[in-house]
Amino acid sequence: MRQDYAYKLDQCDVPQDRRSELQRFRAKRAEWLSWLETDEHHAIWSTLHSMVWADVAFKTLTGLAIDNEENALNNSLVMEAMLNGHVATQVLGIRRLMDRGRGNISLRRLIIEVGSCFELFTRENYVCFDGDPYDYQTVRDALISQLLREDGKPGFHAGWVPFSGPEGDGASELAHMQFDRLAGIDPAKRTRQDRLPRRLLKTIEKWLVDSDADDLAEWSHRYLAHGGDRLSRQEIAHLNVTANKITEAIKGLSRATEGMAMLLFAGGRSGALMPTAQFNQFEKLDKPIMRERNRQSGHGRWHSLSTVWDRCLDGVEGDLVSQPQSDEAQT
């Protein structure tokens, strides 16, 4: 995926009177691709990779617990931590991707931003944004003729040719083909001013709506991020927050993100959404969490920590009523 353009604006195969429009497209595309891929903290693909990993990890561990009711994963402390932690982190991730706030990086904001500049998605901009030629066949024919002349012998002979840039034909051809598929245009009827239809964006927006991610984000807002009042909690009492509901929401968000990557002619994640483990993910799972000889020390640690919390409110009343009267007079 190219984000830092290799070619200057005046090297792009776009007429002078339309280069200001191309400049806008290049600038916005670079910004949008950073949202998708390279932002250090909030890149959309990175967020989805983490959520998919967590989904697979959680379901693998709970599967092990279901398969053997006697293993340590069925301990109430372990299961409670797994469930609460998984739901909280996944739903908060969904909420972040669905955020509408200006200045925030989110999938929803990306869709809104692209929609506000959708007139920039012409075939000319789509193909020629970084130096690739519009007419790839003419460039290809010229390169083949040049190879034949340099060789001086009859027949075709192999040689190195650029894939992209002003003398490249391959990237241009792929961009034309992608644009044709997205726009539903016959290749024989291509024009530089062809535009991507807005129905593509509406389809992606529908995937977002159908994912039920908004409901999960609302649940997060009321239960995880803020304390909702009695009425607001009743309004969403019907929402059944389960691992499967979260999984389906992530699928919808991932499909929408892949769709946006296609609109931007950027690298997608088809066939590669789940990160590859760089370690043995089942290491030590065959070992006990606690041996019998550690039971007493475990009890001791539990009671010691419990006592610390029980005593943390000691002295509140004394400190509350011991404020000097002069403080009250000043306020």
Q: Which residues pair with 122 in a beta bridge?
A: 195
In tens, the pLDDT along 158-171 reads: 556 788 899 889 99
**Residue 240 resides in a domain:** yes
**Residue 299 resides in a domain:** no
pLDDT at res. 323: 77
What gap in Å lies between CA 49 and CA 124, rounded to an integer? 33
Q: List CB contacts of 246: < 8 A, sequence separation 6 or more.
A: 55, 87, 90, 91, 94, 216
**Residue 74 resides in a domain:** yes
Please classify residue 199 by burial: count the beta carbons closer than 10 Å to its beta carbon, then call 0-12 exposed, 13-18 middle and 19+ buried.
exposed
Give the rounded distance of the alpha carbon of 155 from its chain centre. 49
Share of the chain above pLDDT 90, in %: 66
Cα separation of the two ends of the chain: 61
Tokens of 22: 């191309």
Share of the chain above pLDDT 70, in %: 88
What gap in Å lies between CA 74 and CA 78, rounded to an integer? 7
Q: Average pLDDT for residues 177-204, to the nearest whole number?
A: 97
**Under 8 Å between Cβ of 49 and 233:** no
SS3 (DSSP) at 65: helix
**Residue 100 resides in a domain:** yes
What gap in Å lies between CA 19 and CA 8, rounded to an integer? 11
Tell me 277's DSSP state. P
**Residue 148 resides in a domain:** yes
* Average pLDDT along the chain: 88
Q: Which domain holds residue 271?
A: 9-293
pLDDT at res. 101: 86
Residue 267 banded pLDDT, cuts 50, 70, 90 = confident
What pTM does this model have?
Answer: 0.85
Tokens of 284: 């030590």
**Residue 314 resides in a domain:** no
pLDDT at res. 2: 45
**Residue 169 resides in a domain:** yes
Q: Per-residue DSSP letters for 93-112? A: HHHHHT---TT---HHHHHH
Q: Average pLDDT for residues 3-7, to the nearest whole number?
A: 83
In tens, the pLDDT along 102-147 reads: 888 999 999 999 999 999 999 999 999 999 999 999 999 888 887 7
pLDDT at res. 271: 87
Instruction: Choose among 19, 44, 10: nearest CA to 264.
Output: 44
Q: Average pLDDT for residues 310-315, to the nearest whole number?
A: 94
Tell me 34's DSSP state. I
Count of structural domains, the chain: 1
**Residue 306 resides in a domain:** no
pLDDT at res. 1: 42
